[in-house]
Structure 1
Amino acid sequence: MKLGRLLSIIILLLNRRMVQAKELAERFEVSVRTIYRDIDAINRAGIPVVTYQGTNGGIGLAEGYRLDRNVLTNDELAAIITALQSIATTYGSEQNLQLMEKINSVVPSSSSEDFRHKTNRVLIDHSPWDGNESLQPKLVLLKEAVDSCLVAGFTYSNASGEISHRIVEPHRLILKGRQWYLQAYCLEKMEFRLFKLKRMKDVTIDREQTFSRRELPAQDSLAGKTVNEPSTAIEFILRFQADSRHLAQEYFGIEELVPTADGSWQVKKAYPEDEWLYSFILGFGHHVEVLEPLHLRETIASRAEQIVKIYRNEQAT
């Protein structure tokens, strides 16, 4: 994504005296305007990039500037490779593959074997079990919209199943809990909103209509936070059967399990109360029982009864 593109531009400028902005834009499939924003970001990071005017002009590093190879250790380069490999599990990008090749090329041959082992020690696989073929086209389009400040439109189904058509100014793509979200300024609601990509269809971008980026609200900084409003979270207690300890461990971790006198296991958690939570608990089937709060216990019981009625009616017919 943007970090990968910035690193690729820096490496290209280190290896070539001058590059034209148009060439960079074509190489990374973004607008020339985006390239100049990237150059400005690189300058602010302390690497002096100079724009030369004229027929033979272009973009290059300031005369005499060299980036010390030791500015990044092998461990730091391996960490970058690991991050790019993990991103590639859910968002494939030719740019990221090119960047990984470039990083591998600057590692001395004497250290290549050790470097390869370091990059294979950890892989964070964000891809869903059923694949993400339908998600990729949305990601590609929305990434272009974010990079080039293009207005986007799509049909959206919210958590209540209500269908609407949205026109938005896309500002940021967010991967949270294996789910992709778009943070965008909604031109209908006149405020920033989060849209889950799985609830979008008929995504389009208007390459003729651009927008000026707005400052993201401070409270919408999502690093390490949930995309749900914290006020909707409730605390609940689940009881797992004695022979279902492995399920509780897999989903909550062994440290969260509290043994009881009858051999069962209790887990206390706080999640936002919504359709996802009901489906999550019901997914454990007969292995789990909601102990608290009472209203959540009654909701799960009511939905379980509805499921039983469906299957009994099918058998009756």
Structure 2
Amino acid sequence: MKLERLLSIIILLLNRRMMPAKDLAERFEVSIRTIYRDIDAINAAGIPIVTYQGTNGGIGLAEGYRLDRNLLTNDEFAAIVTALRSISTSYGKEQNQQLVEKINSVILPTHAEEFHHKTNSVLIDYSAWDGMEHLRPKLQLLNEALDTCVLVNFTYSNAEGNVSERTVEPHTLILKGRQWYLQAYCLEKNEFRLFKLKRMKELAKNRESTFIRRDPPSLEYIEGKSKFNVDKIQEIVIRFQDDVRHVAEELFGIEELLPFEDGSWLVKKAYPEDEWLYSFILSLGHRVEVLEPKDLRKTIANRAEKIAKIYKNHKVT
């Protein structure tokens, strides 16, 4: 990702007088144009990097500049390493490990044991239980397209099952709820859209077509908000039998459970009513009951009846 690449470039230039842009591009597997954009970003952050022309030229820190090691404390270095290790659980790149090793190299030997303890105290594992090997090629391809600003094509099946061919400008990869999404400008719809990677197939870069990055809209879904189905959001009341209380605790948290007079437990949450909600409630099984609203209760009952009919009428041979 861009953050660790920028940090890696800074550390490399601290240890070397200069490096050719071509060498940096090859090292990080991006284009030379991307390296120059990175240099602009580093300069904007207040670290003076200059380009030296000529046979022995390259990219280097301004003469006499030194990065004060105290700019980052050991605790801050540990936070960076912890973040990189956590990111690597779902977005593994060789550069991540290289950067971790470089950060470890600047920690004084007298603080090494304490630093190791801090960086191994917390690991946030973003990976799904069923693995993500099938997504890694897509992530790699999209990351390359993001770095080089090239269009991508794919066949997309949306939540309603409609299939369409899309050509988009990829802008941002997003991991939310253990699902990967691509925020992209869709040339067919002429607007920014959010695409789920699992719903993409036949994904390919259009190497002949590049684009200039646009200013994408704010990522409302990152903050837990959504522009989808906002008019259908309503509070629902679900009752869990006492013997599946642990399921409710894991899904919603202990504080969200309200005791009911018959020994069961109530959970009150606001959700948009859609296919996801129906599937979620049905997945909880027969020890869970929707009490409110009545229309949702009726919908769940009708769907449960249809499921029961399938199993009653079908004879296994």
- TM category, shorter: over 0.9
In structure 2, C-alpha distance between the alignment counterparts of 1:73 and 1:224, rounded to whole Å:
29
Aligned to 1:190: 190
Residue in structure 2 matched with residue 108 of structure 1 by the alignment = 108
Query: Could you tell me which residue of structure 1 aligns to residue 44 of structure 2?
Result: 44
Indicate conservation of the 8 Å contact 1:155/1:164, yes or no.
yes
Q: Secondary structure at the match of 1:46?
A: coil
The code of the aligned residue for 2:89 comes to T
Moved more, 230-239 or 16-25: 230-239
Q: State the distance in 1 between where 2:171 and 2:210 align.
A: 12
Specify the alignment match of 1:268 in structure 2. 268
RMSD (CA atoms): 1.3
Shift of 1:230: 6.0
Q: CA deviation at 1:228?
A: 5.6
Q: Does 1:32 align with 2:39?
A: no
Residue 272 of structure 1: how far off its partner (Å) = 2.6
Structure 1 Cα separation of the partners of residues 237 and 268 of structure 2 = 4
Residue number in structure 2 paired with 1:169: 169
- Distance in 2, Cα, partners of 1:150 & 1:120: 38
C-alpha distance in structure 1 between counterparts of 2:72 and 2:212, whole Å: 35
Provide the secondary structure at the position in 2 that maps to 1:235: strand
Q: Which amino acid aligns with 1:281?
A: I
Q: In the aligned structure 2, how far is the partner of 1:48 from the partner of 1:20?
A: 16
Q: Is this contact kept in 1: 2:220–2:226, CA < 8 A?
A: no
Deviation at 1:227, TM superposition (A): 5.0
Alpha-carbon deviations, 1:28-66, whole Å to 9, x = none? 111111111110000000000001112211100001111
Secondary structure class of the residue paired with 1:285: coil
Q: Which runs of 5+ in 1 are unaligned?
A: none
Q: Deviations over 1:138-196 (max 9, x none)?
A: 00000111111110010100010000010000000001111110000000000000000
Q: Any conservation in 2 of the 1:168–1:187 contact (CA below 8 Å)?
A: yes
Report the 3-state secondary structure (helix = DSSP H, G, I; strand = E; otherwise coil) of the residue aligned with 1:301: helix
TM superposition shift of 1:223: 3.5
Partner Cα separation in structure 1 for residue 40 and residue 54 of structure 2: 20
> What aligned pairs does 1:29-108 form with structure 2 within 5 A after superposition?
29-108=29-108
Name the aligned partner's letter for residue 142 of structure 1.
L
Structure 2 CA distance for partners of 1:141 and 1:125, relative to 1, 3 Å: same
Normalised by the size of structure 2, how large is the TM-score? Answer: 0.97
Alignment of 1:103-252 (within 5 A): 103-218=103-218, 220-226=219-225, 229=228, 231=230, 232-252=232-252
Gaps (5+ residues) in structure 2?
Answer: none
Distance in 1 separating the partners of 2:89 and 2:43: 31
Equivalent residue letter for 1:141: L
Measured in 1, the distance between the counterparts of 2:220 and 2:45 equals: 21
Query: 1:234 deviation in Å?
Result: 2.5
Match of 1:5?
Answer: 5
Compute the displacement of 1:286 (Å): 1.1
Alpha-carbon distance, 1:271 to partner: 2.0
Distance 1:29 1:302 in 2: 54
Task: Return the alpha-carbon distance in structure 2 between the equivalents of residues 202 and 316 of structure 1.
Answer: 36
CA distance in 2, matches of 1:228, 1:313: 41
1:312 maps to a residue whose letter is K
Q: CA deviation at 1:302?
A: 1.1
Is residue 169–residue 187 contact of structure 2 (8 Å, CA) maintained in 1? yes
- Contact in 2 for aligned 1:13/1:19 (Cα 8 Å): yes
For the 8 Å contact 1:239–1:265, the answer to whether it is kept is yes
Residue 279 in 1 paired to residue 276 in 2? Answer: no
CA distance in 2: counterparts of 1:122 and 1:221, whole angstroms:
28
Alpha carbons 1:228, 1:272 under 8 Å: kept: no
Q: 1:107-127 CA deviation, whole Å, 9 max, x = no partner?
A: 111111111111111111111
The answer to whether the Cα contact below 8 Å between 2:176 and 2:222 also exists between their aligned partners in 1 is: no
1:248–1:257 CA contact under 8 A, matched in 2: yes
Matched residues in 1 for 2:80 and 2:173: separation?
Answer: 20
TM-score (norm 1): 0.97
